[in-house]
Amino acid sequence: MDRLIAGYRKFRATTWPQERDRYEELASKGQKPETLVVSCSDSRVDPQTIFSAGPGELFVVRNVAALVPKYEPDAHYHGTSAALEFGVRVLKVRRIVVLGHAHCGGVQAMVEGAPDLAKDFVEPWIGIAKELLTTKPAPAHCDKLVHFETETVRLTLENLLSFPWINDAVKSGTLGLHGFRFDVSTGVLGLLEGEGFVSVD
């Protein structure tokens, strides 16, 4: 716990005085983020850090492998879909960004099977993307995990369109969908364009 408490004290001493006005304004007026980020829970891929975002800028949904299931309004516990509903319909974000990354343990589990101790929830969750193993097999010449990290971002973007209110907003031009991949080892961000990711200058 010491590391967390020390980190909090640093925040209070340095960040809070700088951002205080912003926090107070957000507290009184409410949040109005323009961007919703679907990111992996991976500790190395923090959207706030990567996009140098301040308080109130990003509405973030994090889960294993940055996946979005298809639209299934039923009585199950749809945490990711609930966050999408709130962000898109209530907060009216202007864009959804799907942030995949290199060395993704979730994608690796999808390709190679979940670890033995992660069968209860991780296994069915990554099943969302399992169809890719047959619908988009990795070409012989390319890195299998990089290929599926790319295709998983693409599938998530497709699944977002299965939500009728996302589809409508995209069609009317009030909502944009974008895919990114963060390379943990180089710190370079790629934007999904056509066949693959193009490094952002």
Q: Kindly tell me which of 36 and 104 has the beta carbon lying closer to Zn ion.
A: 104
Q: Kindly tell me which of 87 and 106 has the beta carbon lying closer to Zn ion.
A: 106
How would you class 28 by CB atoms within 10 Å of its CB: exposed for 0-12, middle for 13-18, buried for 19 or more?
Answer: exposed
Q: Kindly tell me which of 40 and 146 has the beta carbon lying closer to Zn ion.
A: 40
**Applying CB under 5 A, does 42 fall inside the site for Zn ion?**
yes
Q: CA 198 to CA 60: how far, in whole Å?
A: 23
* Residue written as token pair 């200058």: 201
Contact between 89 and 163 under an 8 Å Cβ cutoff? The reply is no
CB of 40 to Zn ion, least distance (A): 3
Segment lying near Zn ion (by CB under 5 A), choices 22-30, 32-40, 53-61, 79-87? 32-40
Q: How many residues bind Zn ion (CB under 5 A)?
A: 4
Please identify which residue in 40, 166, 169, 192 interacts with Zn ion, judged by CB under 5 A: 40
Q: CA 115 to CA 201: how far, in whole Å?
A: 37
Q: Kindly tell me which of 68 and 175 has the beta carbon lying closer to Zn ion.
A: 68
Site for Zn ion in 95-154 (CB under 5 A): 104, 106
Max CA distance (Å), the chain = 56
**Which pair of tokens denotes residue 181?**
């991949």
CB of 122 to Zn ion, least distance (A): 11
Write the DSSP symbol of residue 12.
I
**Which pair of tokens denotes residue 170?**
């995209």
Q: Kindly tell me which of 90 and 117 has the beta carbon lying closer to Zn ion.
A: 117
Map residue 192 onto helix, strand or coil: strand
Segment lying near Zn ion (by CB under 5 A), choices 10-18, 33-41, 69-77, 110-118? 33-41
Interacting residue ranges for Zn ion, rule: CB under 5 A:
40, 42, 104, 106
